[in-house]
Every structure is written in structure tokens, then in C-alpha cells.
Amino acid sequence: MSFYYVGESGSPFTYVAGGRGDLNADGSTTNDPIYIPRSAYDATEIRFSGVSDSVGADNSLGAKAARVRLQQDAFQRFIEGAPCLRRQRGQIMERNSCREPWAHTTVASVRQAIPTPGRALDVELQVFNVLNLLRSSCGLSRVTYGRSDVTATPPLLERVGRIGGTNATAQSEFRFEPTAPRWTTQPELSAYQLQLALRYRF
């Protein structure tokens, strides 16, 4: 019988803003770190768009104000729930200053040799991700919603435009998905797997 466990600290990452325009003028619109407001409710620090692009959506003043408030509430909670964001309030996020959750790898195996005249038969059962076999909420591989180095993951903030006349006074306007998860589970790496092997030696 054998069992091994490997614990790895999470990968560092940066929350980014995407969408229209290049926020830091480096020639790319996919790697711009977000600005972390002191308060998500302060429109002088961060401004959210209440306009919905959905066909037939209600874009009255009341509906837009309700959407803005929903985004403010959600973004405020998102910041409060991440120590790496809380300590950087009032500044542009430092690159790779947040980390993903620890990753836990566990593998167990049982091997039995069955003697036969002049031959040998080995039977081995391996269990990958034992923690997930024992409990479905354990052994999960999680990546961060809005991280900068996963192209398939959307940015945390979407820049939809700007308000103001000149470059010096204009303010970006963003959208934040209120239901955005903090972590995205990778199903193919999180599920337990069983492997049965037979080896005949002669």
C-alpha cells in the first residue's frame, strides 16, 4: 500500500479590467490591473454603468440606478472578502499580489502480487484525488475569476466607456457582474479517478 500527499500554495495573479480602451496605455487591453476604490459607493473613485445591453431591457433612470447599486454592493463585498484587495484600497493593484487557494494532491494505491507456477500476476488499484472521493467538497482545483493569465476567464471589471470631455478629466465607466464567483472550479482536475492495472510477468 502507498499514499502520498502534496500541498502547493496557490498561484499569484492580478485582477484585471478589460473591454473598451487601454487603461494603462501599454498597447494591450487584456492585462490592465484594476484600481481598488476606497469605497465602491464613491462615484469619484469608481463609476458603474447601469445601462443594460439586453434586448428590450428597461433603461429608465430608476432601473439604471438599481443596477448601479447592485454592482456597488457586490463589488464592495468582493473587496471585503479578499485581504489582498482590502489592503490596497485607494491604489492600482500591484501585479501578482493576490494568490489562489492552496492545491492538494492525494494519491493512494494498493498492489497485490498473485503467485502462479513460474509466473506472477500483479493487480494494482490506484485512487487519484482521494480527498474528493472521501468528501465532494475537498480536493477541488480552483482558479480565480478574472485572473490575468487565463485567457478564457473574463476580466473582473468590464470597461464600457468613459464620462467627461478631455483625457485629463474623463472617468472610466465599468460593469461588474454581481454574481461573479470568487473561484472557478476546474471539474476535470477536481474529480477523483480510479485506475485498475493488471501486469502479467513471465
DSSP secondary structure letters along 28-43: -SS-EEPEE-S-TT-T
Which pLDDT score, from 0 to 100, does residue 88 have? 96
Which pLDDT score, from 0 to 100, does residue 109 have? 96
The residue range of the domain holding 110 is: 2-201
87-111 as b/e, with b when 16 or more CB fall inside 10 Å?
ebeeeebeeeebebeebbbbbbeee
Amino acid 124 reads: E
Which pLDDT score, from 0 to 100, does residue 151 have? 46
List per-residue pLDDT tens for the chain, 202 residues long.
999 999 989 889 899 988 877 777 676 667 889 999 999 999 999 999 999 888 888 989 999 999 999 999 999 999 999 999 999 999 999 999 999 888 889 999 999 988 878 788 899 999 999 999 999 988 888 887 666 554 445 789 999 988 876 666 778 899 999 988 888 888 888 999 999 999 887 7
Q: Extract long-range pairs of 188-193: CB within 8 Å, 24+ residues apart.
A: 189/141, 190/129, 190/132, 190/139, 190/140, 190/141, 190/142, 191/129, 191/132, 192/127, 192/128, 192/129, 192/130, 192/132, 192/133, 192/139, 193/127, 193/128, 193/129
Alpha carbons 105 and 161: distance in angstroms, whole number = 44
Give the total number of structural domains in the chain.
1
Count of C-beta atoms within a 10 Å radius of residue 200: 10
Q: Extract long-range pairs of 48-56: CB within 8 Å, 24+ residues apart.
A: 48/72, 48/75, 48/173, 48/174, 48/175, 48/176, 49/160, 49/161, 49/173, 49/174, 49/175, 51/160
Written as nine digits, the cell of 48 is 458603474
**Do residues 157 and 148 lie in contact, with contact meaning Cβ atoms separated by under 8 Å?**
no
Angle among Cα 8, 9, 13 to the nearest 5 degrees reads 130
